[in-house]
Structure 1
Amino acid sequence: MVAVFNKELLSWYLITLKLRETVESAVPTSPAGAPLLESPEQPQQGQKKQQQTPSDSLQIVIEGDEENHEDHEETRSPDFDWVISIGEKLKQAGQEDAACSWSKLSIYRVPRYLREGDDRAYVPQIVSLGPYHHGKKRLRQMDQHKWRCLHRVIKRTNQDIKLYLDAVREIEEKARSCYEGPINLSSNEFVEMMVLDGCFVLELFRGVAEGFKKLGYPRNDPVFATRGSMHSIQRDMIMLENQLPLFVLDRLLGLQFNNSDQKGLVAQLALIFFDPLMPTDEPLTKSDRNRLESSLGCATTFDPLTDQGGLHCLDVFRRSLLRTGPKPEPRIWINRRSNANRVADKRRQQLIHCVTELREAGIKLRKRKTDRFWDVKFKKGILRVPRLLIHDGTKSLFLNLIALEQCHIDCGNEITSFVIFMDNLINSPEDVAYLHYCGIIEHWLGSDADVADLFNQLCQEVVFDINDSYLSRLSEDVNHYYNHKWNTWRASLKHNYFSNPWAIVSLFAAVVLLLLTLTQTFYGVYAYYRPSS
């Protein structure tokens, strides 16, 4: 019988042949001089010699099909297919690893462990930017307004759309490398998305800074004149998964101004646009706003963010919060874990005690007059915390800032440190009420309980290294003051007997009565031992 084997069986056939040659070299021959094992090419007696037939696919025709096939099945390992499949997976993983440029990654998908708290805080509800949420059904309604923006830009600048497409195609590969994982869009689709989304973002930035009327939009425009929807658009555009690379926006804005040297101008426009989301009630002063707006007419502008570079609008916003930001001062809280490469421990995120406990230890809380919401100070038993404004967009803002710090290795953990610090301070609505009484927290939420729940949920799944916090030294000083017993006793005395005027009067009356009683007792005893003559 004759059988035709494929490539895979050919390899096994060659291996078998090699084994037989090895065995023949080691096994003695018969007296007649013939080998005990014959090669398959040598036909046995009574069998017909078969010639090999050429074919496009590699094929081999051998004799004794049934016997050889049975031998092949016996020598083949039962785990052969499994090992082959693992090899193919490793090869595919190697190709994907080589294709990915991890060093350029800057726009991340929020990890699943962070999404468990509130997935809505990371997913846009009105407008999508970039490939992660591109084409979703509920976000398609904004696409018509994007095309309207692009048409108005082309008409206002009197330029050809091909100019924008070609400019973005030059940086397509660099832009793709900013996103995580494969992007299932063709080259034309990706370039079209970047141009469409980028021009839409720039129109919003310029409209807020210069005025939409100046750009040619009517007063009753459904997007650019509706104040209610603008807040929701701002909240969507600050999300980590909804970002565009800053260099793409720089390139598109340079084309609109016919000047490629526009680095830093987009960052300035972004700061003006996202100013209402600042977590402080100290907005940009009029002089600062005028300075930024006046720079729009300059060919070259100076931006303090350009020396550090910017990844995207969320990164620019974070850098603006920490423009003169804190420098971490790590402290070794656990001496036995003094190794340099410590792993962040989820069990040790307690930086400081809550407000109620601090008050019981005699620590006072006061509002610090500064626009730097992170700048906390402690001196002589007084903890000074800057004023913090809480609104309905604060939760999403802080969650996306924390996600950026968790994902991007070049980011510090300053925002995370501050949020965990506030989470430690606030354990109950009573803590929020006292902070509000001190002027430290101003919120637009329903109740103090909502504010307490907000901070208690922000860092539920965040892993944080207490030794790498810029507030670690301050927390250590506060805890040292808290652990001093005399401070606790003095605070208890003041709270119980000096908390109001009537308590002070009662204490004073009790002290006077006690003194009079002691005086009377003294004179009674003195008269007994030293009677008058």
Structure 2
Amino acid sequence: MSDNSWIVEPHEKIRRWIIELDHRVMHEVDIYSENERWKRLSVYRLPASIIKLNRNAYTPQVVSFGPCYHGHANLKPMEEHKDRALLHFLRRFRKPIMVYIECLNIVVDDLRAAYQSLDNHWREDTESNHGIVYVMPDIMRDMLMIENQLPMLVLHRLVAAEGASNTQAEDYVNKLLFRLYNLDSYSRHKSIDKSLHVLDICHRVLLLPSDASHLRGKIWPSWVLEKTIPSATELHEAGIQIQRSRSTSLQDIRFYKGVFCVTLKIPVIVVDNITETFFLNLLAFERLHVGAGREVTNYLAFMNNIIRDSKDISLLRSCGIIQNSLGKDEVVADLFNSLTRDNSSVYVVEKKVIKYCSRPWVRWRANLVRTYFKNPWASISVIGSMFLFAFTFAQTGYTVIAYYRRP
């Protein structure tokens, strides 16, 4: 018997798996290629831990733009309108569809690389009018979902097929998106770098630094925005004037300490039916995409801290900072409080603590304990005073009663 007789022969499937794994290590693992692939990735599949918080905020309800939700049953009614839009596009520019297909074939590898976990059949090489006013808000909402993105490269190539230069194509597409989402004047955004998709370009516009010369206050750094600070109502009661900033950048939260007044300036925000979806997908984008930053995350953490209830929303609305299109202030307060929360037990405990501390009698009792029960002698003195007060009150009561009972 040989010295190696104690070795047990692996099962045939395990042996083939080991051979295949060794082959992949030798031929497929390329650090440089892996890094390049991650750089090209821009449309992500969300993990279940994010989706479960608010499934409707991440799932398109009307139309699919990319391959991730193509063919879903609830989105099929819009396919007819998409076909009609294609016919109008081809009729308008009077060119055969093969011109555009060939134009996109040049960049097809880049387009596929933009999607995470793309199904195999998408990697194979073989493969409106009445009522539009009512569905347009839903379409705009679906266009902002991170899993439903279409790389901007597609739109740029389609416009470039008409003879426009790359710069002209980018400017043209940007202008259409700014008009669609009622973003700031187009002239301010010509300096935007190449964006990945619609969600990315909206993210960049929200964070564009302001060139206004009047912004002299100290800008709040990101680590300050994440700290817990008093609510807007408490800041106002402390003598801090809360004003609307003339800047539209979410980063321009500034603090002014003057001789006679202290001012906190916050950029205006419009809260409507797509605000929740918009910010939740921006949070997911910053969490998943390398280089996206944390500016929106910090801004929402700050807003969550200064907004505790409807009174804070009412104050911010009167200052012109929040434009409420949802109706009740309570709804807006719940929206901001839900954007940065998770369903962890820590959040539940935090809400209970805040609710407990907001009761007036809790503060009165805490003040009483701090003032009169800090040491045993102070406690004895307070208890003695209480007994003396009780006896005095009882004696006064008996005197009054005896007076009225005299014959």
Q: Same fold (TM over 0.5)?
A: yes
Alignment of 1:391-406 (within 5 A): 391-406=272-287
Match of 1:157 in 2: 93
Q: Judging changes above 3 Å, is the alpha-carbon distance between structure 1 residues 228 and 88 closer, same or farther for their aligned structure 2 residues? A: farther
1:250-284 superposed Cα distances (whole Å, 9 cap, x missing partner): 111111x2335333321222222222xx5xxxxx4
Alignment of 1:474-485 (within 5 A): none
Q: Judging changes above 3 Å, is the alpha-carbon distance between structure 1 residues 119 and 75 closer, same or farther for their aligned structure 2 residues? A: same
Could you tell me how far 1:75 is from its partner in structure 2? 5.0
What RMSD over aligned residues (CA atoms) do the two structures have, in Å? 3.5
Q: TM-score, normalised by structure 1?
A: 0.55
Structure 1 counterpart of 2:181, from 274, 288, 296 = 274
Alignment of 1:154-193 (within 5 A): 154-187=90-123
Match of 1:29 in 2: none
Matched, 1:237 2:138: no
Match of 2:171 in 1: 264
Q: Judging changes above 3 Å, is the alpha-carbon distance between structure 1 residues 81 and 188 closer, same or farther for their aligned structure 2 residues? A: closer
Could you tell me how far 1:249 is from its partner in structure 2? 1.1
Q: Judging changes above 3 Å, is the alpha-carbon distance between structure 1 residues 375 and 147 closer, same or farther for their aligned structure 2 residues? A: same
Alignment of 1:329-368 (within 5 A): 349-368=226-245
Match of 2:357 in 1: none
* AA matched with 2:315: Y
1:121-177 superposed Cα distances (whole Å, 9 cap, x missing partner): 111111101111111111111112212222222222221222222221221111111
Matched, 1:433 2:314: yes
1:88-125 superposed Cα distances (whole Å, 9 cap, x missing partner): 78569857765862121111122332223211111111
Q: Judging changes above 3 Å, is the alpha-carbon distance between structure 1 residues 360 and 179 closer, same or farther for their aligned structure 2 residues? A: same
1:459-504 superposed Cα distances (whole Å, 9 cap, x missing partner): 12499xxxxxxxxxxxxxxxxxxxxxxxxxxxxxxxxxxxxxxxxx
Secondary structure of the structure 2 residue equivalent to 1:185? helix
Alignment of 1:432-511 (within 5 A): 432-461=313-342
Matched, 1:117 2:53: yes
Secondary structure of the structure 2 residue equivalent to 1:364? strand
Contact kept? 2:219, 2:252, Cα under 8 Å: no
Secondary structure of the structure 2 residue equivalent to 1:232? helix
Q: Judging changes above 3 Å, is the alpha-carbon distance between structure 1 residues 246 and 186 closer, same or farther for their aligned structure 2 residues? A: closer
Residue identity over aligned pairs, in percent, reads 31
Could you tell me how far 1:367 is from its partner in structure 2? 2.6
Specify every segment of 5 or more residues in structure 1 that has no aligned partner in the other structure, as ranges: 1-15, 23-71, 192-216, 279-283, 293-301, 334-347, 464-533
**How far apart are the structure 2 equivalents of 1:85 and 1:353?**
63
**How far apart are the structure 1 equivalents of 2:302 and 2:342?**
15
Say how many residue pairs are matched. 327
Q: Judging changes above 3 Å, is the alpha-carbon distance between structure 1 residues 429 and 144 closer, same or farther for their aligned structure 2 residues? A: same
1:280-338 superposed Cα distances (whole Å, 9 cap, x missing partner): xxxx4xxx46x79xxxxxxxxx9322xx22111111111122222699975888xxxxx
* AA matched with 2:234: E
Contact kept? 2:68, 2:118, Cα under 8 Å: no
Could you tell me how far 1:84 is from its partner in structure 2? 4.6
Structure 1 counterpart of 2:8, from 76, 79, 84 = 76
Secondary structure of the structure 1 residue equivalent to 2:323? strand
Alignment of 1:36-435 (within 5 A): 75-76=7-8, 84=15, 87=18, 101-187=37-123, 221-222=129-130, 226-255=132-161, 257-261=162-166, 262-275=169-182, 284=184, 288=185, 303-305=190-192, 308-324=193-209, 349-380=226-257, 381-435=262-316
**How far apart are the structure 1 equivalents of 2:126 and 2:66?**
9
For structure 1, which segment, 227-236 or 152-161, has the greater mean C-alpha deviation from structure 2 after superposition? 152-161
**How far apart are the structure 2 equivalents of 1:250 and 1:325?**
27
Q: Larger Rg: 1 or 2?
A: 1
Q: Judging changes above 3 Å, is the alpha-carbon distance between structure 1 residues 187 and 181 closer, same or farther for their aligned structure 2 residues? A: closer
For structure 1, which segment, 379-388 or 244-253, has the greater mean C-alpha deviation from structure 2 after superposition? 379-388
Q: Judging changes above 3 Å, is the alpha-carbon distance between structure 1 residues 455 and 84 closer, same or farther for their aligned structure 2 residues? A: farther
* AA matched with 1:323: L
